Structure 1
């Protein structure tokens, strides 16, 4: 199938002029940072005081990522190529779209204190680059499953224009069963939400302007869940004559920002399911002024534009396992209990172990309790017998071997001498000289 990339225009007279004409690289890089308006819009400086996404892996399924870009170096893993085959997620033939998405997500800048160049919303996260353009539905599905199996905590697909396929739908269902949220762009022609974003279980992301209003080319539909900055976005991945930077419009950029926000939430709240992570983003999203009365999810905005700081800080109930995500048909049985996820099975095993431990402890306590009662009865009976028989009991040490008052010399008649006999006088001792 022919898959249309979300449009990114490497244009903008002011930025282009600076990037091409500046003789000092640092000056150009500083201009790059200054023009990242989305960082202020998303309150990035305050967000980074809480988390920068450390420990999170975001899979970027795109046209490859340049791991040698100065603003990405060290943050890009090896990845894989599902287009030409091979063990690397590097771009081919000057492609730079995936590199641009990676910069929005996990760029860390460069120079002293990383003060120059592109800073991503989750600058301490890692990027898993996967080269897959959706031209082969099987390849796209395999890319999603590969991302899950490689430990990705979030999947970003800044692509659109595909068609609905069973293999891709199953791959998305697989990701959710493994607790990995999938973010995809709604599209850039102002029409309906495109695939893969339209698949149940995906988080479709539309784009807004600097004022928070919907971007005119952002696709819309009941599937839309979130929006994020999508115009005049400066990032990595420009042509070589622009020093590797570019500026453009597109729901691709919005999707990358939303994926980064999800990674931040996962870093702060690692116990949440994929659906509960998305729930935090939707519950804290905000509609622009004048749209506050709109029923959400709105076809243009979804629940509104992401607010990462609020998603990290506000008291948001966990909610259900799937949150606002539409449950893929392949996972529908989990809702009724006819199928059990690995998470459910692990919970059952844990509960079984706790049950065994509880009853073992209960049995031991019951045994000790009964033993204490028996011992108490024995001691009480022995004490009562002692009171009745005196210390030690008959014949025991310290007892009385004779009836009371009949011991020799106590109340017995004195022994009589034989009749007719007189006591014999004691013999006389010789006198002592």
Structure 2
């Protein structure tokens, strides 16, 4: 049983197929929103490799001919180019399709990019595919999937590996209207939601504090595989955060092509700083829209400071949790247990707080012992009885760490000072209501 679910609404690529190839481009409303002529005058994504971890991609589709690089199937069955559903082909087409003939077929947002097809495999092998993509030249990893058997901790190592090698991971938030799902809720991943033609949030787009950007994801024309799944031809329409994720990956490819020296965080910074603020939303980031709807032309041309290397991914990717840092959370179809994660690395803070609070006590006891020693010597000269009593007192005071003080043993909230002999704070974890990156906006609607 596969541990990942494609991010299209209902049945894969639901809706009637597009009538004919010459009508396909007219049906791509997102092309008008993006203003492709302006975008392509600046960048087409040339030279950038986008890995698509999905259900396989049809290398023979006329709109993708020549755009695929040799890919990977973790099971060695060649399914990276022998698709098991039409989903992967559709996602690849939104990124890098180039049409065919005289204006026929569909085009992706970054037709100059190359696609690295990776079959998603069974449960647990998406992470393997991520690492393979990094080692084989990917600059962007597109994951239009959610897992049903893994939690964010299971993806932490793969995401960290990608960021360390300056590779951006983009993932869809999910399509059940609940919290952001795994792997999009993993710290360091760019989580994507979907909007419709009016730039309003698509009703089933998942949401939460991890949301960073939105993109077109309703009534989207995609390439398909004839005779496979719900497609009755080579093109279909679909809804879902899958499509939105593909468009954000393509926008990142455009930016990487123009600014090849930027880090993933700096590329995301350009996308965030140029996004269109959603109407009626006063504070950003918003739990549904993130920082807004992507605008690729503005991301390529606006005067935006480079910013820090990690950009908006700073807290998210600075120190991702490993699987041992907390039990993996199930991200089943109901979306339960996939709320925001906090920034890890709390252990040093606890240690410093504990040792810092004990130091004044140690100094005080040490000074008291010196004074006590002087008093004992003086008393010993005058009376052996008083000297004996003083020595008994010295024996008591000379072992300040022997018995615990009479404070009630209670656990303190993280960050407060602890006292010698008191029960230590519980092992650190990831508070379920804390966002995975610095998020000034805390009053958006959250579903838990």
TM-score (structure 1 length as normaliser): 0.70
Distance 1:283 1:188 in 2: 26
Q: Which residue of 2 aligns with 1:401?
A: none
Q: Judge which range, 299-308 or 236-245, deviates more.
A: 236-245
Matched, 1:329 2:330: no
1:222 is aligned, of 209, 233, 247, to 209
* Structure 1 residue 45 displacement after superposition: 1.6
Distance 1:164 1:328 in 2: 19
1:170 is aligned, of 154, 157, 172, to 157
- Mapping 1:185-334, distance limit 5 Å: 185-240=172-227, 242-291=232-281, 293=282, 295-325=283-313, 326-330=316-320
* Structure 1 residue 11 displacement after superposition: 4.0
Q: Secondary structure at the match of 2:236?
A: strand
Gaps of 5+ in 1: 20-27, 335-433
Gaps of 5+ in 2: 322-342, 346-448
1:69 is aligned, of 61, 72, 80, to 61
Distance 1:312 1:92 in 2: 33
Distance 1:224 1:270 in 2: 25
Alpha-carbon displacement from aligned partner over 1:14-42 (angstroms, at most 9, x marks no partner): xx3x52xxxxxxxx111111000001111
Q: Which residue of 2 aligns with 1:413?
A: none
Q: Secondary structure at the match of 2:52?
A: strand
Is the Cα contact below 8 Å between 2:224 and 2:233 reproduced in 1? Answer: no
* Structure 1 residue 10 displacement after superposition: 3.2
* Structure 1 residue 288 displacement after superposition: 2.4
Distance 1:278 1:127 in 2: 20
Alpha-carbon distance change, 11 to 132 in structure 1, aligned in 2, over 3 angstroms: closer
Distance 2:176 2:82 in 1: 26
* Structure 1 residue 317 displacement after superposition: 0.5
Is the Cα contact below 8 Å between 1:10 and 1:238 reproduced in 2? Answer: no
Distance 1:206 1:333 in 2: 25
Higher relative contact order (CA 8 A, sep 6+): 2
Q: Secondary structure at the match of 2:317?
A: coil
Q: Which residue of 2 aligns with 1:10?
A: 13
User: How many pairs were matched up?
Assistant: 315
Matched, 1:90 2:81: yes
Distance 1:181 1:63 in 2: 20
* Structure 1 residue 167 displacement after superposition: 4.4
Is the Cα contact below 8 Å between 1:238 and 1:246 reproduced in 2? Answer: no
Q: Which residue of 1 aligns with 2:382?
A: none
Which protein has the larger Cα radius of gyration, Structure 1 or Structure 2? Answer: 1
* Structure 1 residue 238 displacement after superposition: 4.5
* Structure 1 residue 314 displacement after superposition: 0.1
Runs of 4+ in 1 over 4 A off after TM superposition: 330-334
Is the Cα contact below 8 Å between 1:80 and 1:131 reproduced in 2? Answer: yes
**Aligned Cα RMSD in Å?**
1.9
Distance 2:107 2:219 in 1: 15
Matched, 1:42 2:43: no
Q: Which residue of 2 aligns with 1:147?
A: 133
Distance 2:90 2:261 in 1: 30
Is the Cα contact below 8 Å between 2:45 and 2:110 reproduced in 1? Answer: yes
Alpha-carbon distance change, 165 to 258 in structure 1, aligned in 2, over 3 angstroms: closer
Is the Cα contact below 8 Å between 2:58 and 2:83 reproduced in 1? Answer: no
